[in-house]
Structure 1
C-alpha cells in the first residue's frame, strides 16, 4: 500500500492530506474486490479528477490502471499472456458471451499460442455454407413434412409437508380443511400458477375470480383429477360434464348419487326376494331388520322429496322429472349434473360457471340454496350478482398466484382497491426516501470527513426491501362499429304467432317494435321461446301468422354461444377473419381483433388453444367486422370475465344502433336495458318497472312453489 501512497503523492503533488487518506482507504478496503481498472476508476476516479487541473479523463484512467497493478501485481502478468490460475469454476459459454471483444481473457485459460495455418478462410467458409443451405432448401421443397400438432396438456406439481404425508400414509388425517401449498400449474409451455398457495376452510364458500385464460377452470380440473393432492378422505365432486342420456328417469338419476341408500335398497330387494322364494334362513330376517334400521337412520324415505325439490328449483317440472335422461338436451343434462351434485353433498363441491345453463328463475333459486351449503364450495363464476350473493370469501387469481379476501365480490373490490392504493403510497414513499439518501451520497461521496456516513447510507440503501411498482391489470375496452342513422319505422312485429306443429304453440298475437335507440332485454324460462323470437325478428324463421316489417337497410349482427362453438378451431384468429372477409390487409384484421382485446401473439394462437372468453371475443370481432347497425345478442356473457362483461355494457351504451339482448346476467341487464320483454305462457309482453319488477315476480313464484301443498 505504501507504493500506491507514494505514487499518488508524486502524480498529484497538490492533493489534500484528507483526500489522500480517503483515496488510500478506499483502495485498501476494496483491494481484494477490484477485478479491473474500470472498477478502480468508479471508486476513486472522480475524486482524483477533481484534485487535478491538467489531466484528462484518459490520464486518470491510466493512473487507475497503474494503481490496480500495484494492488494486484499478478493482474499485469495475466494480461501479458501468462497462464491464468482459476480459483473457482467458470462457464465458458457465458464467458464468451460477456467477453466478445476481449479474446485475451478467454485465450489465457487454455490457448497459449495460435497456429495461423489452422485458420479457415472466411470467404471459402461463407461459400460452402451457402451451398449447404441451398441443398437443404431444395430438399425441404421436395419433401414437405407436416409435423403433428403439439398436444397441449395441463400439468401440476406441489410441495407436501412430511407431517401431512405421515398422517396420510397412516390414515390418521381427519382434517376437513384443505391446504395446497407451494404448487405450480402449467398448460403446455405456459405457466399459469407458480409457487401458489390455496387454503379452503371447511364450511366456507369460495368464489374464484380472475381474467379469462389465467387458469381458473384448469385449477378445478387439477384438484378434481388428483394432480393436486388433498386429504384422501375428502370427497370431491366437479360439475363439468353433462349426464349421459339413457332410459334412467331424471329423478332416479339424482337418487342414484346417494350410493349408501342405493346399496341398502338393493340388498333389501335381494333379501326380500329370497324370503318370498321360500328361504327359511333365520339370518335373512335379522339382516333385513338391520337394513330397515339403517334406512331409517339416513332418512331414506325423505330422499325422493329432497331430490324433487332440487330438480324443481332447477326448472324440472313434475312431468320432466319422470322423463328418461335421453329425452333432454345438453343444457338440461348439465342441470341434471348440477342437481346430482347438490343432492349428494360432497365434502368439496367444485362448480365451473354454474349459471351459464340456467335462466334467471333457476339462478335466483340456486343463489338461495347455496347460501345454506353445509360443506366447502369452490365456484368459478363471472356473474357479478351471484358472486355478491353466494361466496363468503373471494380468491383472486392473478400474476401466477392466488390472493384470498374475506367477504363477497363487492367487499373484495373495495379491499383490493384500498390495498393497491396503500401499496402505491408505500412504493412512492420508498422511492422518495431512496432519492433523498442517494442525493446525500452523491453530494458527500468525496468528502473525506463524511466518508463513514456515506458508507452507512449506502449500506442502508442496500438493506431496504426492493418494492416493485404497482402494475394494475389493463382495462378491457370493447369497440362496437359506428352506424348511420335510419329513419323509422325500423322493426315491427304485428299479430305474430309461431308454432312448431299444430299442437305446440310457442307464442301468439305478438305486437312489439324496436328503433335504433332500443335497448331491449328478453327474459323468461328456458324453453319459453326467447331464441325462437330472435330468429323471427332476424328473418331466420317465418311466423306462422302475422307480419314482420323491417327497414330495407337494417343489417343484423347476431351473436350466440353456438357461433362460438362453431368457430374453426384449427386456424388462428387472423385467419378466421380472413376466411369470412377475404381480401383485406392483415393490419385491418389485427386492428379489428385488437378492438376486442385479442392482440399481439394471442391473435396468432390457434382458436382451439384460447379460453372460452377469448373465443367469445373472437366471435364478437367477426360479427362486428360486417358493420351491423342492429345487434341481436343471445347469452353473450357466457364465459366472459367480469371485466369484459363490464366493457361490453359500456360498449353497448355507446353503440349508435339498436340492441336486443337475451341474458341472465343481472348486472348487464341493469346496466344497458331500458325495456324488458317477458317471454312465456304463449305470449311476449313488455312490462313496466324493468328488472326490479321481474325479479319480484320470480321470487313470488319461487316462494309459492316452496309452500307445502
Structure 2
C-alpha cells in the first residue's frame, strides 16, 4: 500500500483530523518495528479524538493491509485505555504541571505535560508529533529487541544544554590541562550547574561524587561529546555502555579499538600486495617507524594481559563476544579503554558489572594510570584507592578537594563547619550593628555613626558567606511484612542442582554433556525470615542463579525448593531497568503493576522510597540511575515481602543513598539474601558470608574484610601495561 493510499484511508477513518495529524498517523503505521497490539494501545485514543467510529477494528484493518507479512499474534494483554481529556505535548519541560492531573496519559506515544496556555482543540497547536513519533518508534524497537534477545541502544535521549561565558576560548592544541570558566549545564529543563569553573589537571585522577540526579553523568557526557572547549587533538574516551556482541572475540575487539594501529596494519598489508615501483620507500619507512614507536609487536600480548586482569582466561578471549552476558561485554569495553590509553579517560560506574576480584584488580591498575582520569562511582573503597582529587557536585556548583574520598569527607565537614562559623559571626555582627542603628537612627548626635553602621551592614551582605545547601536525605522505608511462625518462616533448598543449556538430568549432573553448563551442584541451604546472608564470589559462579532459584524464576533440574505459600519474596535484579517502561512515570508504573491499589497509597509508597513530589510524575527515562533503582525497589517492597533477595542493589546509587539503604535494611523485619561487592553494605547489614564457587555455597568463617584480604592475596599483579613513553 502506498503512502498516498494509506493517508486517504486514514482521512476516512478519522474525518476530524487535519493534514498534519493524518501525516503523523501515516508515519506511525509505516514503521515496521511496531506490532499490532502496540498500535492499538497507542492510537485508539487519537482515533477516538478525531471521530473514528470503531478505532480498534479500523487500526487492525489498516495494519493488516499494510503489513500482512508482519502480522503476528501478540501475547501481551491489552491495557485498559482512557480517552485523553485534551491533547498533550511531549516536548515541554517536565516541571510544568498539567491542568488536569487525573487524565490518563498515553503510554509510550503521547507525552507528559500540557502546553502552557493550551485549551485543547486544534491539535496542530498542542502536539509535537515529530518528537512523539520518534519516541514511539524508539520504544517499539527497544521492546522488540528485548523480546528477540537482540541488543538495542535507545537513541531517544535528551541531550544536555551547555552554555559558557563569553571569555571562555577554545583550548589550544597540545595543551592537556582543561580549564573552563562560566559553565552552565542543564538537562530536561533542569539546571544542573550554574556559572561554575571546570578544572582538570593532566595526570590527576578525579572522583566525581554527588547525589543521584545532580548531573555527574551529564557532565561526563558533555565532556565526551566535546560540547565543552577541549583541544581537538586530545584523545577522549567515555566508557558507559557495553560492546555489542558479535562473532568477534574479546581479543579482536580490544586490538581493533586502537584505530591508529589498525590503519597502520592495513597500510602495511597494502604495501605487501603492491608492486615495488608503486610504493614510496619513505612512506614505508615512516609507517614501520610509527609501528615501532607504538610497540605494535607487543600489542596482542598487552591486550591479552589486560583482558586476563579483567577475568578473561585464554579460552574466553578466543570465544565470540556474542556468547557473553552484558556484564562481561562491559568488561570488554573497559579493556578497550585501557588498551587505547586515551589522554582523558571517563569511567561511569565501572564497578557496577564487576565482581570483587575484578574491582580490586582494576583499582590497582588505575592507580598507575599516567593520564587524566575521571570516575563516577558509588564504591568508597574504589574511590579511596584510585583518586588523587575529588570533585563534589552540589547545589549547582563544583567544589574541589585534594586526596581520596575519605580525605574529601573530612575536609568537607571541616569546610562546612568553618562556613557555618563565618556565617554565624556575620549574622552576629549585623545584628549588633542593626540594634545600634535602630536605637540612634534619629539621634542627631549619633546619626553619622548610625549611617556608617548601615554601610558596614551593606558591605557584609555583599560579601556574605553562604553555607552550601544540603539536599534532603531521601530515606528508604521497607514496610513490616508481618510475622511467620514455624515452617512457614523458612525457605529450604534440598540437594538442588541447576545448569544452563542442559537437558533435565535423570541421575547426576556429573554426566552433563559437553555443551551443557553446570552452575550449582547438590546445594543444601536454608533461609529464614531473620536471616542476613551475603553471597560473594567471582562472576559466573552462580550467585544470581542462586537468587533466581530462591525466588522461583528458575526450577532446579535436581532437588527441591520448599517454600510456604504464606511466604512472600521480593527479588531486586541488577538489570532492573530492563523491566521499566521508560516512557511511563513512576506513579503510572506502580498503577500498571498494582491496578487494584489505591492511587494515593501508591503515591505515598513512592514517597517512602524517595520518589517525592513532581519526580513521581516525570517519565522514568528522565530519572537518574539511582532514582530508577528506587522505582524498582518501590515495586518490590509494595508487596511487603518476608524475604528480600537483592542482586547488586547499590548499582547506580550514590554513596549517601547507600547509607540510607543500609539503615532501611537494618530496620527491615524480614530476611535478606544479598549479592554485592560493596564492603560497607555487607559489613553493616549481613551476619554471615557464603562463598559461591565451583557449584557450591560454602560458609566463610570471618568478616568481609578478611575475605577481601584473602582475595587480594590471590590476585595476579595489576602491573600497568601502557604504550611506549615515546608515543
Q: What are the Cα deviations for residues 577-619 of structure 1, in whole angstroms up to 9, with x where unaligned? A: 2222234443312211111111111111122221111111111
Q: Residue 226 of structure 1 corresponds to which residue in structure 2?
A: 226
Q: Residue 693 of structure 2 corresponds to which residue in structure 1?
A: 680
Aligned partner (choices 399, 423, 434) of residue 395 of structure 2: 399
Matched, 1:158 2:164: yes
How big is the shift at 1:282?
10
Distance in 2 separating the partners of 1:663 and 1:237? 28
Distance in 1 separating the partners of 2:718 and 2:413? 41
Q: Residue 480 of structure 1 corresponds to which residue in structure 2?
A: 478
Native 8 Å contact 1:424 1:470 kept in 2: no
Native 8 Å contact 2:212 2:627 kept in 1: yes
Native 8 Å contact 2:551 2:570 kept in 1: no
Q: Residue 559 of structure 2 corresponds to which residue in structure 1?
A: 546
What do you get for the CA RMSD once the two structures are aligned? Answer: 2.6
Aligned partner (choices 609, 616, 621) of residue 608 of structure 1: 621
How big is the shift at 1:694?
2.4
Aligned partner (choices 360, 363, 372) of residue 364 of structure 1: 360
**Which range moved further: 650-659 or 512-521?**
512-521
**Which range moved further: 299-308 or 563-572?**
563-572
Q: Residue 242 of structure 2 corresponds to which residue in structure 1?
A: 242
Distance in 1 separating the partners of 2:328 and 2:373? 22
Aligned partner (choices 608, 611, 621) of residue 595 of structure 1: 608
Distance in 1 separating the partners of 2:588 and 2:125? 22
Q: Residue 662 of structure 2 corresponds to which residue in structure 1?
A: 649
Native 8 Å contact 1:160 1:181 kept in 2: no
Matched, 1:213 2:220: no
Distance 1:462 1:144, change over 3 A: closer
Q: Residue 325 of structure 1 corresponds to which residue in structure 2?
A: 321
Pairing of 1:34-183 with structure 2 (within 5 A): 140=121, 148=129, 152-159=158-165, 161=167, 164-165=169-170, 168=172, 173-183=173-183
Distance 1:646 1:330, change over 3 A: same
Distance 1:366 1:440, change over 3 A: same
Q: What are the Cα deviations for residues 110-157 of structure 1, in whole angstroms up to 9, with x where unaligned? A: xxxxxxxxxxxxxxxxxxxxxxxxxx98x8499997554678432112
Q: Secondary structure at the match of 2:247?
A: coil
Q: Residue 491 of structure 1 corresponds to which residue in structure 2?
A: 491
Q: Secondary structure at the match of 1:194?
A: strand
How big is the shift at 1:530?
1.2
Q: Residue 335 of structure 1 corresponds to which residue in structure 2?
A: 331
How big is the shift at 1:281?
4.1
Matched, 1:298 2:311: no
Matched, 1:509 2:522: yes
Distance in 1 separating the partners of 2:224 and 2:313? 31
Unmatched 5+ residue regions in structure 1? 1-135
Unmatched 5+ residue regions in structure 2? 1-117, 133-156, 503-511, 722-727
Aligned partner (choices 375, 380, 401) of residue 379 of structure 1: 375
How big is the shift at 1:649?
0.9
Distance in 1 separating the partners of 2:161 and 2:395? 18
Matched, 1:259 2:255: no
Distance 1:340 1:411, change over 3 A: same
How big is the shift at 1:288?
5.2
Q: Secondary structure at the match of 2:214?
A: coil
Q: What are the Cα deviations for residues 367-413 of structure 1, in whole angstroms up to 9, with x where unaligned? A: 00000001000111111211111111000011111111101111101
Distance in 2 separating the partners of 1:575 and 1:534? 28
Q: Residue 64 of structure 1 corresponds to which residue in structure 2?
A: none
How big is the shift at 1:556?
0.3
Native 8 Å contact 1:271 1:284 kept in 2: no
Matched, 1:627 2:640: yes
Q: Secondary structure at the match of 1:561?
A: coil
Distance 1:470 1:146, change over 3 A: closer
Aligned partner (choices 557, 566, 570) of residue 579 of structure 2: 566
Distance 1:245 1:581, change over 3 A: closer
Aligned partner (choices 585, 589, 595) of residue 582 of structure 1: 595
How big is the shift at 1:543?
1.5
Distance in 2 separating the partners of 1:595 and 1:272? 68
Q: Residue 103 of structure 1 corresponds to which residue in structure 2?
A: none
Distance 1:551 1:196, change over 3 A: same
Native 8 Å contact 1:518 1:658 kept in 2: yes
How big is the shift at 1:324?
2.4
Distance 1:252 1:457, change over 3 A: same
Distance 1:337 1:157, change over 3 A: same
Distance in 2 separating the partners of 1:529 and 1:467? 54
Distance 1:144 1:174, change over 3 A: closer
Matched, 1:664 2:664: no
Q: Residue 461 of structure 1 corresponds to which residue in structure 2?
A: 457
Q: Residue 569 of structure 2 corresponds to which residue in structure 1?
A: 556
Native 8 Å contact 1:239 1:351 kept in 2: yes
In terms of fraction of residues, the more helix-rich structure is 1
Native 8 Å contact 2:395 2:469 kept in 1: no
Q: What are the Cα deviations for residues 344-384 of structure 1, in whole angstroms up to 9, with x where unaligned? A: 11110011111111111111110000000010001111112
Q: Residue 36 of structure 2 corresponds to which residue in structure 1?
A: none
Q: Secondary structure at the match of 1:418?
A: helix
**Which range moved further: 363-372 or 227-236?**
227-236
